[in-house]
Amino acid sequence: MSTPFPVQDPSTGAPVCPRHPDRVSYVSCQRCGRPTCPDCQRSAAVGVQCVDCVRESTKAVPSRRTIFGGVARAGRPVITMTMMAICVVAFALDLAIPKGFIFQNFAYAPFLTESEPWRMVTSAFLHSTNFMHIAFNMYALWILGNALEPAFGRARFLAIYLVSALAGSVGVLLLSPIDTVVVGASGAVFGLFGALFVVQKKRGGDLRQIVVLLLINAAIGFIIPNIAWQAHLGGLIAGVLCAAAVAYAPTKNRALIQWGGIGAVALLLVGLTLWKVSTFPIIIFG
């Protein structure tokens, strides 16, 4: 605890630093008035403050918040760039490592859900060897991430992204044949599309462009073969639900309600997964 009175050496009466009693200091903190040695001095707007006062004043300053309660940070969208980097590195490794090691060990298929459930998330960071597949998803992720990450804050944005990625796999699990193999960030990207729709509606913005983009991308999933529209649908629904929990949470207990809502969506996905796996036929060998 700080004291407004200088600390003195009892033998000499000279002021000493309270953090380092063996050091005499005639420089006092401008805030608490205690002596402070060079190691404990911090430059302030006026004069010098001790390290304890600087720490206390930092705690007293409230952190800036985004419109939806996240911690506001200046600069580039770090989470968006990190997700993109992981996808690009995984794509490069899949091309570089022979025999499809990355694809075989991290892609998702419903029949692998019970034995290797982590694939439901890892598959969202993989893409086919078709360059257009990853290029489209990374472009969409960059555009959506730049719009949503500053609004939600890093933690909430990451949570919505990952839950949407999981929901994409749950959509495949529920609606696709058991041997369907899927990879791609499309489920998570559609989750961000859904989140952007919620944000625009909350802000009273124009929804027509977002609806048109959603319809076009949804149609592509039915027109072009080998595109898992089931993952798109699952991610979209989860993204809407998570974003609604964040955007429409009341001011009182906002963080608790937001994280509780996202957690409820995640628990719902886990419950649907367990239920669907329980309906799988039992294969008896021998």
Q: Which residues are catalytic?
A: 186, 232
**CA-angle at 256, arms to 140 and 64, nearest 5°:** 65
Q: Which residues contact 140 (CB under 8 A, 6 or more apart)?
A: 189, 192, 193
User: Which region, left, alpha or beta, applies to residue 15 given φ > 0 means left and ψ of -120 to 50 means alpha?
Assistant: beta
152 touches 74 (CB < 8 A):
no
